[in-house]
Structure 1
Amino acid sequence: MNKTHNIGIFSLVAASALLSACSTFQATPAAPEPAPAVVSSVTEEPPVVTAKMATARAQLSQMVALQDRLYRIAAPLLINNADLCRTQARNLLGFTAKNKYSYSGEFVDAAEAVLNYGDRLEVASVLSGSGAARGGLRKGDALIAANGKVLPVGANAETLAAGILGPLASSSQSLDLTVSRNGATQQLKVPVTRACAFKIDIGNADNVNAYSDGQRVMITRGMVNFAQSDEAIAYVLAKDIAHNVLGHAATTKQAYTIGSIIDNLVAARPDVSMLIGTAGVKPMPQDLDAAADYLSLYMVARAGYKVDGARAFWQRLATQYPASVLNGYTANHPAVAHRLTVIDKTVTEIRNKQAAKRPLIP
C-alpha cells in the first residue's frame, strides 16, 4: 500500500534508473618470448525483469505521472485560497518527498528501477508558487537535515521526517534545509507557504468519481481520464476541497467510510471489490452539494482558472455517467438540476465581481 504523509503540502516522487555492467581483466600466462596481453571482457547479465516486475514498473510510472499532474493543478487552488480554508490552513513547505520504502512488494523494486529511489528521502515535486520553489529546492534533491536536525532514512523515513518538518514549519517563517544535489551538499533557506493543508491523491481505479474525508481529496484515474483538461480537473478538485472546508464528511457521518475508500484506492494494488454498489457512500444532500459548488467556483476563479466551463462539464458528467451508474460521481451527487442552477448563479456573480474589479470573496 502506498504510504503517504504530509511532507510539505503533499507526498509523491521522481527520477530515472540506470543499469551498469562491469568488466574483468584477464592476462595470458608468461611465455618464453614476450607476448601481448589478451584482454577478455566479461559483462554481467542485467537483472531478469519478470512480467510481474515489468507490470509494476509500468503501473508506477503511470500513477506517478498522474499524481504529478494533480499536484500541478492543485497548487494554486491550495495556495491562493488559504484564507478561505479557515482553520485548515497551515504553514507548509511546498514540496513532496519519498524513498523506495514508500511502496511495498514489487513496487519497491519498481521505485528503485523507475524512480532511482534508495533509502534516503528525495524531493519528488516542488509546487509552483511555494516557498520551496522560491528557496531553490529542486526535484531530485536528497534531504539531509532541517535546521541542523538530521533527517531520517529507511523504512519509516516519511513518517519520522513529517514529525520533524511539520513542527519546524509551523513555528518559523523559513527552514534551513541541507540537501545533496549531484553529489554536492547545499544549504537552502526555504520560506514557509500558507496554504490549505489538504492532501491530494490519485485513486488507482477506473470508476469516474472523487472523494473527500475532511483531510484528503482523491480523484480516481477514471475521473482524470474523463475530465481530460486541467480546468475540468480543477473543478473536481475544488469541489472536494470545498466539501472538506465546509466539514461535510463529518456532517454526513461518512468520514470513516470515505477515508477507507481513499486508503484502499491509493494503494498500488487496490481491492476494487469493495466498490460494489455505491461502496457504502450515501448520496450528498443537495443543500450541502450546492454549498460546495458555490465555494468551489470562487476557489477556481481565485486560482486563475476560468469558471465559464463549469456548467458544461458537470452536465456532461451527469449525462454520460448518470445516477444509475454505480460507483460514479452522479450516484453520490444526484441533485444535478439543483446544482446546475446554483452553478449558473455563482458564475454570474463571479463574472460581475471580476468585471467590477471587486475582491472574489464568497
Structure 2
Amino acid sequence: MRAFLRHALLAATRQDARKGVLLPAALLMAACATPVPPPSDGLPPSEPSRPAPAPSQPAPSVSAEQQALQAMVSLQDRLYRVAAPLLVNNTDLCKKNARNLLGFTAKNRYSYSNEFTGAAQKSLGLDDRLQVMGVLAGGGAARAGVRHGDVLLAVEDKNLPKGETAERDAASILAPMMSGRSSIAMTVLRDGSRVALNVPLTYACAFGIELGNTENVIAYSDGHRVLVTRGMLNAVRTDDELAFVLAKEMAHNALSHATKQRTSATIGGIIDNLTRIRPDMSAMSGMAGLRPMPQDLDAMADKLSLYMLARAGYDIDLAIPFWQRMASQVPATVLNGYTALHPSINYRIAAMEKTIKDIRAKQARKKPLLP
C-alpha cells in the first residue's frame, strides 16, 4: 500500500487528471477536511452522575485511493495558495501572459483519473456536476460571494455541462466570454437553492501551476506552465521559500526563456510526464535532454522574480540564503536537481544583491516596483 500511495500521490495532467478550467492558472484547490473529534461532556471520568459513555463507533475505513487523493489535494492547496499572490499582483510584469479569470476553480469527480473518481465522490463530495473547489481571496469571485461547494448551473443563461467532459465543454463556453466584459452572470446551487451571482472578472497572470510526482528537488517552466515537484515541496521550509521557487519559474515564463532556448517542447514533455500518476522516470535520467540555463538569462529571471515577490508581499531578504542552501543541499553534481539546471549560483547571488538594494530603495521612496 505504501508503494501505491507514493506513486498515486499526485494527479495526472491532461491524460490523467484534467485541470480546473474556470481559473486557468489553477489557483486554490480545496484543502483536505480535518476530522472533528467527538465532543467532550466536560466531566471527569469518575463523575458518578453520568452513565458510562457508549463505546465509540469505529471510524469508517478510508481506501488507499482516498488517502492518496487527500494527500494530493493538500499539496496542491499549498502550492496554489502560495502562487496566488504572485499571479494576481504581477500583471504589469507578465503582460503578455495576463488575462481575465473568473477567480475560482471548479471540478467534478471526472476531473481525476479513473482510479480516483470514486475517491473524489466519497472524500470530496463531487458528482457529475462542476463544483467550486477554491476561491481566490480578494478576487472578483470572492467579492461576489462565490463559495466552496457551490454547484455551477449556468453562466449568462447557458446551462453548464455535466459528466466526463464537463471541464473541457465548460471551457469552450466560457472562453469567448472572458474578453470584452468586466463581469459574468452565473447561477449556482447552494444548500438546495438557486443563487444568482454577478462575478467580476479577475485580471491575473495566467500561468498554469502544476505538481510533479517525483522526489527530485527541481522545478520547470515551459513558457506557459510552472511545475514544482513533491521533492522541492519537501525541501522548502516555509511558504516564502516555496514562493522563491514559483516566482523564479514564473519569471522565466514572463521572459520567454524556454522559447529563446528552444526548449519549450522538451520541458513541456517533462511536465506532462511528471504530472502523471506513474511518470516514466527512465526519461528523467541525466539532464533529461536540457542544457544548464545561461547565467545571464538566469540572473534576469532572478531579478524579475524578486520584483514579483516584493509586489506579492513575500520577504525578499530571505531569498539569497535560500538559494545558497539549495546549492549546497542539491549541488550541480545531482544532474536531475535544481542547481544542475541553474549552476551559476555566485553570478546569480551578485545580481540578486543588487536587485534587492534597488527594490528597497524604491520602497523607501515609494516608487513603483518595476525593474
Q: With the length of structure 1 as denominator, give the TM-score of the two structures.
A: 0.87
Aligned mates of 2:325, 2:100 — CA distance in 1: 37
1:110-162 C-alpha deviation (Å, 9 max, x unpaired)? 21121121111111111112111111111111111111111111111111111
In structure 1, the residue matched to 2:66 is 57
How far did 1:9 drift? 3.8
Greater Rg by CA: 1
In structure 1, the residue matched to 2:164 is 155
How far did 1:13 drift? 4.7
In structure 1, the residue matched to 2:114 is 105
- Report the secondary structure of 1:83's partner residue: coil
How far did 1:229 drift? 0.7
Deviates more, 1:286-295 or 1:169-178: 169-178
82, 92, 101: which is aligned to 1:92?
101
How far did 1:15 drift? 7.9
1:318-338 C-alpha deviation (Å, 9 max, x unpaired)? 000001112111111111111
- Report the secondary structure of 1:219's partner residue: strand
How far did 1:270 drift? 2.7
In structure 2, the residue matched to 1:180 is 189
Deviates more, 1:57-66 or 1:6-15: 6-15
In structure 1, the residue matched to 2:18 is 3
Q: Which amino acid aligns with 1:319?
A: S
Aligned mates of 1:343, 1:185 — CA distance in 2: 52
Residue 337 in 1 paired to residue 346 in 2?
yes
Aligned mates of 2:226, 2:332 — CA distance in 1: 21
Q: With the length of structure 2 as denominator, give the TM-score of the two structures.
A: 0.85
In structure 1, the residue matched to 2:260 is 251
Aligned mates of 2:20, 2:124 — CA distance in 1: 18
Residue 260 in 1 paired to residue 260 in 2?
no
CA contact (8 A) 2:32 2:70 kept: no
* Identity fraction in percent: 55
Aligned mates of 1:208, 1:7 — CA distance in 2: 30
Structure 2: where are the runs of 5+ without partners?
1-15, 34-58
1:149-199 C-alpha deviation (Å, 9 max, x unpaired)? 111111111111111122212231001111111221111111001111111
Aligned mates of 2:233, 2:31 — CA distance in 1: 23
Rate the CA distance shift 1:195–1:213 in 2: closer, same or farther, 3 A. Answer: same
CA contact (8 A) 1:202 1:218 kept: yes
Correspondence 1:64-213 to 2 at 5 A: 64-213=73-222
Q: Which amino acid aligns with 2:298?
A: D
Aligned mates of 2:136, 2:357 — CA distance in 1: 31
Aligned mates of 1:299, 1:285 — CA distance in 2: 21
1:219-247 C-alpha deviation (Å, 9 max, x unpaired)? 01111111121111111111111100100
Residue 273 in 1 paired to residue 282 in 2?
yes
- Report the secondary structure of 2:203's partner residue: strand
Rate the CA distance shift 1:139–1:168 in 2: closer, same or farther, 3 A. Answer: same
CA contact (8 A) 2:90 2:312 kept: yes
Structure 1: where are the runs of 5+ without partners?
18-45
How far did 1:267 drift? 2.1
In structure 2, the residue matched to 1:26 is none
Rate the CA distance shift 1:15–1:321 in 2: closer, same or farther, 3 A. Answer: closer
Aligned mates of 1:190, 1:332 — CA distance in 2: 42
- Report the secondary structure of 1:64's partner residue: helix
Aligned mates of 2:21, 2:331 — CA distance in 1: 35
CA contact (8 A) 1:302 1:360 kept: yes
CA contact (8 A) 2:106 2:130 kept: yes
Correspondence 1:21-60 to 2 at 5 A: 54-60=63-69
CA contact (8 A) 1:120 1:153 kept: yes
